Amino acid sequence: MKYLNRFRVHPGEKVRLKDIDPGFKDRRESHKKAAEEIERDREKLRALQALLYADGRCSLLICLQGLDAGGKDGTISHILGAMNPQGCRVTGFKQPSTEELAHDFLWRIHQATPGRGQVAIFNRSHYEDVLVVRVHKLVPHGVWSRRYDEINEFEKELVESGTHILKFYLHISKQEQLKRFEERLDDPMKQWKISESDYKEREFWGDYAAAYEEALSRCSTPHAPWFIIPSDHKWFRNLVIARIVVEHLEALGMKLPKPSVDLGHIRREYHAAKAE
């Protein structure tokens, strides 16, 4: 079964995260055993992104969501590392600025969506406005509860204008999150990521799970699906996401544009210049 179907949240499906194993690795024994498979997918990603850019008829938006230490940065590094950065853009959505708060919650999102031929990756996204906003009661229930329909309509409009949307929830266990926090304490390259709120937010684990379950259930549509990615094993997370992106892009039927010049004439000019 293709990963596009295997990890997808199907429209109308009721998500229960506790029933999904974040340590799942699909009979693969280790990163070492899967290394060749991962590299093949990276090569395919590189070629398909170049074809998307050359074809120029559509764009791709990848949304990454997950709890702290879920692996959003690592996923971006893995995906972008296989692509030409001239055709990609990453946007991180942190706490809104004063200017952003003066507009509707989708205003800052729309400005970061990809143009034709481009790939955009969101590190967090418009879903923060039905996640952290809901958990910490930053706006009334009557406000955030309307946003599911607004998000679905927004994504539908993007798709109708040529943007393909793939949304990934990076599913980790509470134990794995704590382990990764400990690794940050011991790694000088990661200590800058540490904040007191990392541990404080763990008190809201159940609230975040409920918020994610509703967002995943209500906003996985045929045109903008959610995928729940087991992410306790970083290498398996990278493999699955790369495979899903590859499978989606391969299904688009993209083509290289025909040359806009007379190749025969250009070749003759080249040979004449070479003979001089």
At 39-82, the pLDDT tens digits run 999 999 999 999 999 999 999 999 999 999 999 999 999 887 88
Ordered by start, the domain boundaries in the chain are 3-275
Round the average pLDDT of the chain to a whole number and report it.
94
Residue 229 bridge partners (DSSP): 170
Task: Tell me which of 69-73, 84-88, 134-138, 196-200 is least confident.
Answer: 196-200
Q: How many CB atoms are located within 10 Å of the residue 173 CB?
A: 15
**3-275 fold:** Rossmann fold (3.40.50)
At 159-210, the pLDDT tens digits run 999 999 999 999 999 999 999 999 888 888 888 887 878 889 999 999 999 9
- Model pTM above 0.85: yes
